[in-house]
């Protein structure tokens, strides 16, 4: 599906929710994940740039911008984890469809984030986050 169609579909869900009398939100199905997908990013943005933008809605605890294995260049999409899952709702509702450096980005929830395979350069904290996740623990 065209990325812009996805942006419009997510926006349409939000608009329908505002008009409905339902007690639950479409966001509720993602309550166990603090990860979001970000697509359509300008290629010259760094992890720090993305964190600076997305930290407007919460504390960012992990980011994985997908890079080309040979060149190391960013591919224009990635995944970001917030400390608090509620921040994902704010990010999806407010960042989906905005333009960053002339490119329309897509932001959506991720239900089951699968961390990349460990490489030799991964520190212990990153390994722990990838294994345990960073969503709130159900008690």
Report the CATH number at residue 111: 3.30.70.330
Per-residue pLDDT tens digits for 100-119: 999 999 999 998 888 777 56
Q: What is the pTM of this model?
A: 0.73
- Choose between 92 and 123: higher pLDDT: 92
pLDDT the model gives residue 76: 95
Closest of 86, 8, 76, 4 to residue 37, by C-alpha: 76
Distance CA 35, CA 91 (A): 10
Percent with pLDDT over 90 in the chain? 48
Distance CA 135, CA 85 (A): 6
pLDDT the model gives residue 94: 94
Mean pLDDT of the chain: 83
* Range(s) of the domain holding residue 116: 3-15+33-130
- Choose between 93 and 130: higher pLDDT: 93
Is residue 24 a part of any domain in this protein? no
CA distances from 81 to 16, 55, 101 (A): 26, 10, 23
pLDDT the model gives residue 8: 79
Closest of 49, 106, 60 to residue 83, by C-alpha: 60
Tally the domains of the chain: 1
Is residue 118 a part of any domain in this protein? yes
Is residue 97 a part of any domain in this protein? yes
Average pLDDT (3-10) is 75
């Amino acid at each position: 599906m065209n990325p812009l169609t996805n942006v419009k579909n997510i926006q349409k869900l939000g608009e329908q929710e505002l008009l409905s009398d339902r007690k639950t939100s479409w966001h509720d199905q993602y309550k166990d994940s603090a990860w979001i997908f970000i697509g359509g990013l300008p290629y010259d943005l760094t992890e720090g740039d993305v964190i600076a933008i997305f930290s407007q809605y919460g504390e960012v605890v992990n980011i994985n911008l997908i890079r080309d294995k040979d060149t190391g260049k960013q591919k224009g999409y990635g995944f970001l984890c917030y400390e608090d899952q509620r921040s994902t709702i704010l990010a999806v509702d407010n960042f989906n469809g905005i333009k960053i450096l002339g490119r329309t980005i897509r932001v959506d929830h991720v239900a089951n984030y699968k961390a990349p395979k460990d490489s030799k350069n991964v520190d212990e904290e990153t390994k722990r986050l990838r294994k345990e996740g960073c969503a709130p623990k159900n008690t």
